[in-house]
Amino acid sequence: MGGGNDKTMHLQFGGKRLLILGGSCDLAIALTECAIRAGLFPLLTFRNKERERHIAEKLPNTSQYDTCYLDFADRSSLNFLLNKVGKRLDFLVDFAQGDFESLIASANEMRIYSYLAENIAFRAEMLKKVSRVMLQNGKGRMIFVSSSAAVRLNQGQGFYAASKLAAEALYKSIGLELGSFGITTVSLRPGYIGEGRGKTFIQKQGEAILQKIPIHRVLHSQEVAETILFLLSESARGFNATEILMDGGLTAGK
Amino acid sequence: MDFLSEIKSILTDILDIEGFRISEKTYLIRDLEAESIDLLELAVCLNAKFKIEVNDDEIYLKQLRAFIDEAQREKSDIIKYLAEKYPFLSPARIEEILADLDGGPALKIKDLISYVKWQRK
């Protein structure tokens, strides 16, 4: 698999409607572009006006996708989204993730509760409701975009890792429970990505971080997006209720 | 609308029980041996068929025993307490359920029908 329209054309998809949570991040934008080329119709969520504008700037052809407000801190926004989704939903890709970097022993206590409620409890409610939409359709495919930091974390990433692992468990359970109904799940754990949040970290760490990665480079949004598109395709249906590492070999060695 | 026929049709499909005689008095779990995944599928089908919101905890009386304990702790009238929690069940039906608890899950097809009718109001 590699970049380019010709290669993505070979993938077959069991539907068209793709819901992308956290739709304004760089990876989501890259996935949206790939998905549109592959004939899918994405619905991207944004959490505020600024992120909505960001999507519109990055994806000017607004007839090829739709957007919807969704804030993990606002439960009512979920009903708004589900009304927009209606009964037709074939795919879900979940990039949504709040920021909370803190040592456990120095974390703000209120923030602990709100962060875990937003990133775990809200996600569980969302998954319950999306699963039921997919059950009505008799099929569905969900990809959770986790992180290699879920299993190999830096100091200060405890809450991030905890929420990623909890979310992975939720997705895995859906794959176990609903696989027989045609609803399957995969969690993808990308390593360092050269764009978005990862960019700042990599700039701070410099060359040292690249030396820890056997392929001596970070990932690019485009290649991660293409991998997600592959995971959505019929060719990847055999992957279910599992986690896949995509980190250039970072976590394989000492 | 013939609610019994519609629910029978859904259950026959989900539980693969062609030929099994289902009446309003049939127990969903004791007689039909519906499992949790079947109950989930049934809830989704009821939602789609009757255009109603289905709260699994309510329709399947999932917290029944916890509510009974609560009512006893608070020294409340159990039937009144349960009638507030399950407004789709009549006091007579609640009384019947309470007398039937030792045999296992008391949920019957007629309770599903009551729930659907209540939600459609």
Is the model's pLDDT at A201 over the cut of 80? no
pLDDT reported for residue A7: 52
pLDDT of A212: 86
The highest-level CATH class for domain B3-120 is mainly alpha
CATH of A14-246, one of 3.40.50.2000, 3.40.50.720, 2.60.40.2220, 1.10.760.10: 3.40.50.720
Residue percentage of chain A with pLDDT more than 90: 81
Helix or strand holding residue A66 (H, E): strand A66-69
User: CB A181 to CB B41 under 8 A?
Assistant: yes
* CB atoms B47 and A132 under 8 Å: yes
Query: d(Cα A187, Cα A145) in Å, to the nearest integer?
Result: 6
Hey, where are the domains in chain A? 14-246
pLDDT at A43: 98
Q: How far is A172 from chain B (nearest CA, A)?
A: 16
Residue whose token pair is 């062609």? B18
CA angle B117, B119, B121 (to 5 degrees): 70
Q: Which residue has the tokens 């026929």?
A: B5
Chain B, residues 28-87, CB within 8 A of chain A, namely 37, 40-41, 43-44, 47-48
Say whether pLDDT at A3 is over 70: no
pLDDT tens-digit readout, A15-37: 999 999 999 999 999 999 999 99
A78–chain B Cβ distance below 8 A for any pair: no
A197 compared with B18, residue with greater pLDDT:
B18
Domain ranges (residues) in chain B:
3-120
Instruction: Tell which residue, A243, A220, A221, has the closest CA to residue A143.
Output: A243
* B47:A181 CB<8 A: no
Chain B closest CA to A136's CA: distance in Å?
6
Q: What's the pLDDT at A2?
A: 45
* A111–B contact, CB cutoff 8 A: no
Do the beta carbons of residue A22 and residue A30 sit within 8 Å?
A: no
CB contact under 8 Å between B37 and A136, yes or no, is no
Residue length of chain A: 254
Query: Among A63-67, A74-78, A151-155, B35-39, where is mean pLDDT lowest?
Result: A151-155
Low-confidence spans in chain B with pLDDT less than 50: none
CA distance A81 to A78: 5
Listed range (A109-113, A205-209, B78-82) with the worst mean pLDDT = A205-209
Distance CA A46, CA A58 (A): 13
Closest Cα in chain B to A176:
B37
Task: Indicate the pLDDT class of residue A9, thresholds 50, 70 and 90.
Answer: low
Residues of chain A found within 8 Å of residue B59, distances taken between Cβ atoms:
none
Q: What DSSP state is assigned to residue A217?
A: S
3-class secondary structure for B4-73?
HHHHHHHHHHHHCCCCCCCCCCCECCCCCCCCHHHHHHHHHHHHHHHCCCCCHHHHCCCCHHHHHHHHHH
For residue A165, pLDDT beyond 60: yes
- Residue A88 in contact with partner chain B when CB distance is under 8 A: no
